[in-house]
Structure 1
């Protein structure tokens, strides 16, 4: 999918699929594996982290031109810690059961590398709207990943999803899935599935090789003529001329063009 960079839709798609923090960047592994014992816990943890990501990205982007460069890390931590404290108090007041289940992992959102990473890599350099949606996208990506892992673990480990019985009454739960080995097993399979999806999405149909088409010199090296997205008018010579310069005459390049283009 080709989207204009730094638009809200592109930031959402980036966090959900292109740079999913759990399956692609492999960040936040500790809370991912520790809180994914049930889908309910995963949703709670994911939404809490999303709220902190959204608001911290917003404030850090607003202050990016005010915060001195040598003070940016302490400033980021103060902003993130402030929002984590708010989320902690709100969860304790409105969802005490979930708050008690998640325990120490709510305050530990402060040191979640996903949040600090987005502050340093994106929000501290980009405009407010883009940074806000970057936080939303990363938060949704984290929540979806956490919920997927938790759903599989809960399904095979207890026969339920969100507490609802899914497996037949005679099903014997596989206790390994609610323990650490099961978490790593599910995590590994889902990362493999994400990689397969990304590889499949990146494939492009073969293009007929045209020796008169203008291309850049790099196309000769990789033999993927016209597949790099370079506009023909920005290229200095035709495919035939490029190949001739490196492998022989223009006539020979034209004669062997299709064969070379398919390699």
Structure 2
């Protein structure tokens, strides 16, 4: 598989949210707005790229018995960096995302790519895979956040689309996450089959 196919599979063929249905905890938990979805997606993208980079370099040196715990320690190191940087530079977003930032450590998308791809491939393909899967995850979270924010408040990225008070409260609450995700998955599956 060439590098371009590696990069684009995270957007369409193997999108973690819309196709593989992985990483549902942050997907449903933080996407009440587009900015939250984008922030969580970019944080996860950084962790994916950096952990894939390191894991591809050291995976041959790690004994099979401790591969998964070693991968978790590597991932946790980058999650800690993201957590501290966000707390220092974007405290409002950090507060909104809350506990979901440390939970990136156990996100199936990150650990799955470490085990399934980065540990078995060279440096450049691993970085490209991490970028593609991460940006595809970011796209999905941002799209879901934008849909929920639009139907819930009449805004997108906090920019008002409708002048008057508009919105269906259900979309900014937990049930709205399930509704919006279900409809987006149905639409995307229909487009993929067309």
TM-score (norm 1): 0.72
Alignment of 1:1-263 (within 5 A): 5=1, 7-169=2-164, 171-200=165-194
Unpaired runs of 5+ residues, structure 2, are none
Task: Give secondary structure in 1 for the equivalent of 2:138.
Answer: helix
Deviation at 1:172, TM superposition (A): 3.1
Tell me, which stretches of 5 or more residues in structure 1 are unaligned?
201-263
| Structure with a larger share of its residues in helix | 2
Q: Distance in 1 between matches of 2:181 and 2:91?
A: 28
Displaced runs of 4 or more, over 2 A: none
User: Structure 2 CA distance, aligned partners of 1:82 and 1:38?
Assistant: 27
Provide the rounded CA distance (Å) in 2 between the counterparts of 1:49 and 1:135: 10
Structure 1 or 2, whichever has the larger Rg, is: 1
Determine helix, strand or coil for the equivalent of 1:64. Answer: helix
Deviation at 1:189, TM superposition (A): 0.9
Q: Is the 8 A contact 1:155 1:167 kept in 2?
A: no
CA shift digits 1:6-32 (9 cap, x unpaired): x22111110111000000000000100
Q: Distance in 2 between matches of 1:116 and 1:182?
A: 28
